[in-house]
Amino acid sequence: MASQLGEPDAYRPFFYEIARSNPSDELRAGMLFQMLGQAHRSDDQSRQRLLYSWLTGEYPGSRYVDIARKRYNPDRRIQAGADAPDFTVGALKGDQTFSREDFSGKHVLLDFWATWCQPCIEEFPTLRKARRQYSRDELAILSVSLDADRETVTTFLKERNLPWNHAFGDGAMDSQIAEEFEVGGLPKPVLVGPDGKIVAAEGSRLRGERLLQTLEQELGS
């Protein structure tokens, strides 16, 4: 399969050394999954497509394939240039709901997170910077908790100053909004433009200082 797919020479020695030392299909699938993630983070689309095809073709029964389909499928719905799904999600508190129509005409950053996700929490300072830098008419921020328990989130947020919209995905990672946005892991940021098109849906453009750079490109400084 490697030669048929044109697997890059740089990957072969590492992968096949693991394959020789351990005949486990699941271990080999895991190594491919790791390399697929590296290709995704470096935005190497041709390598990502190649590794995705290799993983799903050779190891269709692996647990890594289910995760890869959500995170790394090169033909996934949630990617730059695609229409954002129509969604409705309940607010964390009260009876209010949020939908895509509520943010029409402005950029909206959807921040899928959970209290148990430390990398998610580490993004809050950057989100605060973005909130201070852009008006609510320019940029809306909607943090969607995918925790299992609403009260856990409410208690967690009482201790923090996060002055933007907060929603709760009822059903956690199996909630309707998580399915609509193909959330396979957290954090999962998605930036949608005023026209309803997805601007970016990758951590490589929407986490840390890279988020501020992307917003500057879209909205100006």
Of the candidates 40, 45, 78, the residue with the CA atom closest to the CA atom of residue 192: 78
| pLDDT at position 15 | 66
Ordered by start, the domain boundaries in the chain are 2-71, 88-219
88-219 is classed in which CATH architecture? 3-Layer(aba) Sandwich (3.40)
3-class DSSP state for residue 86?
A: coil
Across the chain, mean pLDDT equals 90
- The residue ranges of the chain whose pLDDT is under 50 are 2-7
The dihedral formed by the CA atoms of 120, 138, 196 and 104, expressed in degrees to the nearest 10: 110
pTM (predicted TM-score): 0.82
The 3-state DSSP composition of the chain as helix, strand, coil percent (nearest 5) reads 45, 15, 35
Of the candidates 66, 70, 53, 64, the residue with the CA atom closest to the CA atom of residue 6: 53
pLDDT in tens, 7-24: 455 655 666 576 557 678
Helix (H) or strand (E) holding 143: strand 139-145
